[in-house]
Amino acid sequence: MNEPVSLPALSCADDYDPNSMPVDKAREVIGRFLSPLTATERVHVRAALGRVLAADVISPLDVPAHDNSAMDGYAVRHADLKADGEVTLTTVGTAFAGAPYAGTLDAGEAVRIMTGGVVPAGADTIVMQEHVKASDKRVTIGGGHRKGQNLRHAGEDLKTGEPALKRGRRLRSADVGLIASLGIPEIDVYRKLRVAFFSTGDELVSIGTVPKEGQIYDSNRYTIYAMLERLGCEVLDMGVVRDDPALLEQAFMRAAGAADVVITSGGVSVGEADFVKELLNKLGQVVFWKIAMKPGRPLAYGRVGEAHFFGLPGNPVSVMVTFYQFVRYALLTLSGETPVEPTPTFTVPCTSALKKAPGRTEFQRGILTRDDAGRWSVRVTGEQGSGILRSMSEANCFIILPTDQGNVTPGTLVQVQVM
Ligand code: AMP
Ligand code: MG
């Protein structure tokens, strides 16, 4: 479990207004209280994709292990060649990948060598096969060859004892291959972050239940489930919990006892927040913010018991935006990943007119496309209501409009963040 960390009077210690919390400030405050996992487990390299290294992977060997040829050609002694003019050497053997030449090259000798073949003792230079005239036992080579050319040196990529991968790295496909290339069968990784989540709301039913009048299907739990799966978390789906203090208290206690992180959706907006606030302050330390952003204004953050807690808004788009903008970074950090790179943003022309009021950061949903000439631009998905989940589904990026930005006219450069 995580170390208990107190959020000393979080809501008044800082000089900010919880009713208009800037996005960056909220991120910074959350960042201060993240205590990464320390528990580790050993996994086979095949099970390592997406896991976070708990220790450096140290190379037990030189890579490559031997001086070897980068080309198909002939291994020679540079001293035998002429600066200009031809020499003819005797071909004394072959060095193929996996089948080295056993002898040492003497003056006037060459060895036929293939890419990856071990450079024979005595040889210091490889001449490409395209640059020679060869017969059965002889090879004629012209001038102009550099000593050491076309040769890959032992330990050139990695020396014995050097870290091949650093602690905190989330392993990608290439890393899995790299670990295997060192002959390492198992590695130490942090255990997966356990995240419990539930939806709150009397109006919600889960798929499989027919909604009665006024009820809607719970989508947030499925969105959250999918986003957590993509981040490599161990998920604990606790279903829908009614807006009932006793049931909510039970759910929070159970979630906090079982997981490192608890995520809820709904119940933090004005009107609903009051009894949730009371409850959470009894069970832990939680702050309620109205973030100066659209969508995703209400956000609760803190601790329930020893678990980290994120209370996301109820609206389906707000859930995703707050998850991407606040929760993702926190979960990756808690998983032991370091450094956690922010999701890249870049600047492209926007072909739509956008309505935007200064005073808050907006995350509009955009479609980034490329024209026939290869130029990228972004247009907004249709309606931007925070209940319209289809706007997220159609989008492949956020258009991030900073606090001071007003309306956007077509052709203006905007910042986009690929999802
Ligand atoms: P709340 O923040 O609980 O007031 O919810 C705000 C809006 O989001 C309401 O229209 C809710 O019906 C809707 N909503 C809340 N939770 C969910 C959910 N899990 N799935 C879909 N819509 C939800
Ligand atoms: Mg609700």
Cβ–ligand 1 contact at 201 (below 6 Å): yes
Residue-level pLDDT at 18: 84
Cα–ligand 2 centroid distance for 149 (angstroms)? 70
Cα–ligand 1 centroid distance for 19 (angstroms)? 21
- Whether 69 and 151 have beta carbons less than 8 Å apart is answered as yes
H or E stretch covering 333: helix 328-334
Nearest listed ligand to the Cα of residue 206 = 1
Distance CA 105, CA 124 (A): 10
Q: Whose CA is nearest to atom 5 of ligand 1?
A: 314
Nearest listed ligand to the Cα of residue 240 = 1
Residue-level pLDDT at 1: 42
pLDDT band at 181 (very low <50, low <70, confident <90, very high): very high
Residue-level pLDDT at 284: 94
Residue-level pLDDT at 19: 87
Cα–ligand 1 centroid distance for 11 (angstroms)? 26
pLDDT digits (tens, 9 = 90+) for 101-124: 999 999 999 999 999 999 999 999
Cα–ligand 2 centroid distance for 391 (angstroms)? 21
Whether the per-residue pLDDT at 84 is higher than 80: the answer is yes
Cβ–ligand 1 contact at 117 (below 6 Å): no
pLDDT digits (tens, 9 = 90+) for 22-40: 999 999 999 999 999 999 9
| CB neighbours of residue 159 within 10 Å | 12
Cβ–ligand 1 contact at 199 (below 6 Å): yes
pLDDT digits (tens, 9 = 90+) for 360-397: 999 999 999 999 999 999 999 988 899 999 999 999 99
Whether the per-residue pLDDT at 296 is higher than 90: the answer is no
Nearest listed ligand to the Cα of residue 271 = 1
Summarize the confidence of residues 341-368 as an average pLDDT.
96
pLDDT digits (tens, 9 = 90+) for 258-291: 999 999 999 988 888 888 888 999 999 999 999 9
Residues in the chain: 419
Cβ–ligand 1 contact at 80 (below 6 Å): no
Cα–ligand 1 centroid distance for 223 (angstroms)? 13
Cα–ligand 1 centroid distance for 320 (angstroms)? 13
Residue of 217, 238, 265 to mutate, ligand 1, most atoms within 8 A of C-beta: 265
The chain-wide mean pLDDT, for the chain, equals 94
pLDDT digits (tens, 9 = 90+) for 37-72: 999 999 999 999 999 999 999 999 999 999 999 999
Measured from the CA of 218, which atom of ligand 1 is nearest? Answer: 20
Cβ–ligand 1 contact at 203 (below 6 Å): yes
Summarize the confidence of residues 244-249 as an average pLDDT.
95
Query: How many angstroms from the chain centroid is the CA of residue 58?
Result: 22
Cβ–ligand 1 contact at 267 (below 6 Å): yes
Nearest listed ligand to the Cα of residue 270 = 1
Residue-level pLDDT at 4: 43
Query: How many angstroms from the chain centroid is the CA of residue 7?
Result: 28
Under DSSP, is residue 226 helix (H, G, I), strand (E, B) or coil? helix
Residue-level pLDDT at 205: 96
Residue-level pLDDT at 3: 44
Nearest CA-CA partner of 221 in 299, 289, 323: 323
Residue of 200, 204, 225 to mutate, ligand 1, most atoms within 8 A of C-beta: 204
Whether the per-residue pLDDT at 141 is higher than 70: the answer is yes
Nearest listed ligand to the Cα of residue 389 = 1
Summarize the confidence of residues 309-315 as an average pLDDT.
96
Q: Whose CA is nearest to atom 6 of ligand 1?
A: 314
Residue-level pLDDT at 183: 96
Measured from the CA of 313, which atom of ligand 1 is nearest? Answer: 2
Cα–ligand 2 centroid distance for 217 (angstroms)? 13
Cα–ligand 2 centroid distance for 233 (angstroms)? 26
Whether the per-residue pLDDT at 17 is higher than 90: the answer is no
CA dist list (Å): 33 to 7, 15, 220: 8, 17, 26
The 8-class DSSP code of residue 103 comes to S
Whether the per-residue pLDDT at 13 is higher than 90: the answer is no
Cα–ligand 2 centroid distance for 193 (angstroms)? 27
Residue-level pLDDT at 6: 55
- Whether 380 and 369 have beta carbons less than 8 Å apart is answered as no
Whether the per-residue pLDDT at 408 is higher than 80: the answer is yes
Measured from the CA of 221, which atom of ligand 1 is nearest? Answer: 19
Residue-level pLDDT at 2: 44
Strands 204-205 and 138-141: unpaired
Q: Whose CA is nearest to atom 23 of ligand 1?
A: 314
Cα–ligand 2 centroid distance for 199 (angstroms)? 9
CA dist list (Å): 404 to 231, 236, 352, 357, 365: 32, 40, 19, 8, 19
Cβ–ligand 1 contact at 218 (below 6 Å): yes
Summarize the confidence of residues 324-342 as an average pLDDT.
97
Q: Write out the E strands in 129-168.
A: 132-134, 138-141, 151-152, 163-165
Residue-level pLDDT at 231: 97
